[in-house]
Structure 1
Amino acid sequence: MAIKAHLDPSKSGAPQRAAPRRELRLETSGYVPGAGEANVTIHNISATGLLLETGLDLTQGERLTLDLPEAGAVMAVVVWRSERLFGCTFEQALGPAALAAAQLQGFAPEAAQAESRSPQPPITNGEALGPRLNRLRREAGLTLSDVAAVLGVSKPTVWA
């Protein structure tokens, strides 16, 4: 069965994505000069930008440094915001290795949603050590850098 449709071209001033996005949920840290460091959740990422969620009070045009697996410290600029969500563009495009590492470190969106819907089991029910440490770190408001400093190890060691 055929369906008639008409697709309007996008307006010339409308923003277009420069690269396809990869959906994920990656917990990392972000740093803004003057505002400090905070936990950041990356919801999607591409070679040219990302969508992140954070408690930092960022404004359009503000620069922040994100710590990404394989890429290390990466500069991004806030393009738009909606409450705790921020659309950002990278100052330099990410390579395929950094994108793959971010995707491997992050949760698939479906798994992240299922995890957030299910209640966290108490330690007596055998909650795995890794997820428990990650949950406790986020509840305490600690960044990966904070944990690394307390343990006296490098930040990449905490990523593992």
Structure 2
Amino acid sequence: MNDLAQTFSKTEDLDDRVSIRRPLKLLTVVVQTSTELQMGTLLDLSESGMLLEVSSPLQAGSAVTVDLPESGLTRATAVWASGNYAGCQFDEPLSRKTISASLLRAEPGSTVSGELVNQWDLDTGAAQEPEIEKLSPRARIGILLGSSAFLWALIAAPLIGHLAL
């Protein structure tokens, strides 16, 4: 088992997260210590935590501070770290106002609306697209023809009844 999987199994069960994670891509300033600043990118955000990509690796357990819209400098702790990625838990839960402001300031097209995406490709930092099963062309044509026949029957029934009188 790799280090990342061990860290997850020790610290949190991904299926039992406390709050909904919202994928986004938002540049932010990350403060590791009082003297070390670096740029980072938020890759997902929830009331209780975030997935952060940084230019120099963080250590699990290290304290970080990020600059978030509407709330300013916000303290968190790296719960797990793998390369330049870290899953962090906020010391205090975020407000909905902060989450909304962050989503609004995220890069266009980086948020996923209507879908909850919990799986990330840690190599690219991108959300994996949910698989959608598509109907075959034959099934689509069958549905289209069946729907058309049904609608024409609804239209024709009153006319046939009226002509029969």
2: CA distance, partners of 1:58 / 1:14: 18
Matched, 1:31 2:31: yes
**3-state secondary structure, aligned to 1:109:** coil
2:4 maps to none
Structure whose alpha-carbon radius of gyration is higher: 2
Matches within 5 A, 1:135-150: none
Matched, 1:109 2:110: yes
1: CA distance, partners of 2:71 / 2:20: 19
Matched, 1:62 2:92: no
Runs of 4+ in 1 over 4 A off after TM superposition: none
1: CA distance, partners of 2:19 / 2:111: 22
| Number of equivalenced pairs | 102
Structure 1: runs of 5+ lacking an equivalent: 1-10, 112-160
Indicate the RMSD between aligned Cα atoms, in angstroms. Answer: 2.5
1:78 and 1:89 in contact (8 A); partners too: yes
Change (3 A) 1:110 1:90: closer
Matched, 1:88 2:88: yes
1:35 and 1:56 in contact (8 A); partners too: no
Percent identity between the two aligned chains? 30
2:103 and 2:111 in contact (8 A); partners too: no
2:57 and 2:81 in contact (8 A); partners too: no
- Structure 1-normalised TM-score? 0.58
Matched, 1:49 2:49: yes
2:98 maps to 98
1:30 and 1:37 in contact (8 A); partners too: yes
- Structure 2-normalised TM-score? 0.56
1: CA distance, partners of 2:18 / 2:61: 18
**3-state secondary structure, aligned to 2:97:** helix
